A and B are shown apart, each in its own frame.
Chain A
Amino acid sequence: GAVVSQHPSRVICKSGTSVKIECRSLDFQATTMFWYRQFPKKSLMLMATSNEGSKATYEQGVEKDKFLINHASLTLSTLTVTSAHPEDSSFYICSARTGRPPYEQYFGPGTRLTVT
């Protein structure tokens, strides 16, 4: 299947700093990318949907100014957690979807963010 990479896989940052997570579709063009957050032993919670070249659509309750999403190309989307706080510590997963039926959606390996 298609490959989606995420970088970094783990990151530790200090409270108040910002951290950027990259998501790349390696062998296909992703017209749509998704960012999820997953708490321990819980399901994936969709944070936002981004389409290449346009603004991301955020789910209710997700602060768009805190979680900045950029989908600058058909193979790259970034999530920037601004002014991170310990409660932002979590597992973040990106996903990329092809632009043709059956609109297969592939997931990245995730990024573990720890804010100290």
Chain B
Amino acid sequence: AQTVTQSQPEMSVQEAETVTLSCTYDTSESDYYLFWYKQPPSRQMILVIRQEAYKQQNATENRFSVNFQKAAKSFSLKISDSQLGDAAMYFCAYRSYPRATGTASKLTFGTGTRLQVTL
């Protein structure tokens, strides 16, 4: 079974600074997706960024980028120019995706990292 580990229960960053959230995962599969979701105080889960395992290039979405190290099974999220609105719980998630069959499994979430943004 796949597991996702987020070793940082809480992180803090000053506004306009950069912060990196860590995530490691364990899988024997070669085909999968990795995600970072944001859950603000409203508790609405929002997709921040997605990485397909077969793509070597790291995904980026505006101020959000990932460092995907497939061999090390590491998938960290970097938030640049942090804003007060970035304060939230961040969940790393894994989903296998066998491209040959086109089926998709369920998401496996990490335990989350609470990010505080200070002035």
* Residues of A that sit less than 8 Å from B by CB: 1, 34, 38, 41-44, 46, 49, 91, 93, 95, 97, 101-107, 109-110
**Other-chain residue from A43, A95, A101, A105 in contact with B102 (beta carbon distance below 8 A):** A101
B50 interface hit (Cβ, 8 Å): yes
A85 CB to nearest B CB, Å = 23
C-alpha gap A107/B95 in the complex (Å): 15
A-B contacts, 19 listed (Cβ < 8 Å): A1-B47, A34-B107, A38-B43, A42-B112, A43-B111, A43-B112, A46-B106, A46-B107, A91-B43, A93-B43, A101-B97, A101-B102, A101-B104, A102-B52, A104-B47, A106-B47, A107-B44, A107-B45, A107-B46
A-B contacts at CB below 8 angstroms, number: 46
Contact A103 B97 (CB under 8 A): yes
Identify the 8 closest CB pairs spanning chains A and B, nearest first. A107-B45, A103-B104, A43-B109, A109-B44, A110-B43, A43-B111, A43-B112, A44-B109
Binding site of A, secondary structure by majority: helix, strand, loop or mixed?
strand
Chain A's nearest CB lies how many Å from the CB of B50?
A: 7
Chain B residues lying within 8 Å of A93, measured Cβ to Cβ, are 43, 45
Contacts of A46 in B (CB 8 A): 106-107
Interface residues of B in 54-93 (CB under 8 A from A): 91
Which residues on B are within 8 Å of A, measured CB to CB?
33, 37, 42-47, 50, 52, 91, 95, 97, 102, 104, 106-107, 109-112, 114
Q: How far is the CA of A95 from the CA of B42 in the complex (A)?
A: 16
List residues of chain A with CB within 8 A of the CB of B43: 38, 91, 93, 109-110
**Once the chains are docked, how many angstroms separate the CA of A93 from the CA of B44?**
9
Most buried by A among B45, B50, B91, B107: B45
Taking a contact as CB atoms under 8 Å apart, the answer to whether B42 and A97 are in contact is no
Q: In the assembly, what is the distance between CA of A68 and CA of B97, in Å?
A: 28
Q: Is the CB of B91 within 8 A of A43?
A: yes
- Please, how many angstroms separate the alpha-carbon atoms of A104 and B43 in the complex? 19
The docked-state distance in angstroms from the alpha carbon of A44 to that of B52 is: 22
Once the chains are docked, how many angstroms separate the CA of A111 from the CA of B111? 20
Contact residues in A for B104 (Cβ distance below 8 Å): 97, 101, 103
For the complex, give the distance between the alpha carbons of A81 and B91 in Å. Answer: 27
